[in-house]
Amino acid sequence: MNQYFKIGKLAASTGLKGELVLQHNLGKKNTFKGLEAIFLEEKKDSFIPYFIESAKIRSDNETVLKLEGIDIVETARKLTPKEVWLLEEDFKKFAAKSSPIALLGFNIINEGEDLGEILEVIEQPHQVLCAILLNGKEALIPIHEDSLEKVDAKNRKVYVNLPDGLLEIYK
């Protein structure tokens, strides 16, 4: 079973040939050189590949993509604003090691207890929120200088010290 990681969204169409602006949070400029396809989630856990014809850097977090079979503006507009996913091996290749999104797939450890795997990373101005499944519900765990103890990249663990009562709302 393939593991997919959300990297951003197709924010807009651009130009007359069906090009799309991918806003990503991979933490570095990206031409996605060597990447064959991005994936869009059509239905829950049903990912459809879209093959890349070309890609141009627009800014640190935007890349203009030309996708196979998307040749006119109207077709491109139907794909916005869809979330974009990569296969795990491609994600590891293109995400900056120091960017918050690189924490996807890590487990959060609070006071020795494994709370679960990070399924989504939401970047905010003063903190990063990590979405995990806790007792069958989505829980948002804040990661900032006060709560983060250490990141163990080798063992794929994020050690935190969460404020008392934070996890109670998810029980």
Position 1 scores a pLDDT of 61
Position 122 scores a pLDDT of 86
Position 2 scores a pLDDT of 72
> Which ranges of 13-100 would DSSP assign to H, the alpha helix?
73-77, 88-94
Position 107 scores a pLDDT of 93
Give 55-97 pLDDT, tens digit per residue.
999 988 899 999 999 999 899 999 989 999 998 888 888 887 7
Position 68 scores a pLDDT of 93
Position 167 scores a pLDDT of 85
- DSSP E strands: which ranges in the chain? 4-14, 19-24, 37-43, 46-59, 62-67, 83-87, 107-110, 113-117, 120-123, 128-134, 137-143, 148-152, 157-160
- Say which residues have a Cβ less than 8 Å from residue 128's Cβ, sequence separation at least 6: 100, 103, 121, 122, 142, 143, 144
Evaluate whether 27 touches 101 at the Cβ level (below 8 Å): yes
Position 32 scores a pLDDT of 87
Position 160 scores a pLDDT of 92
Spans in the chain with pLDDT lower than 70: 1
Burial of 126 (0-12, 13-18, 19+ CB in 10 A): exposed
What structural domains does the chain harbor? 4-96 (2.40.30.60), 101-170 (2.30.30.240)
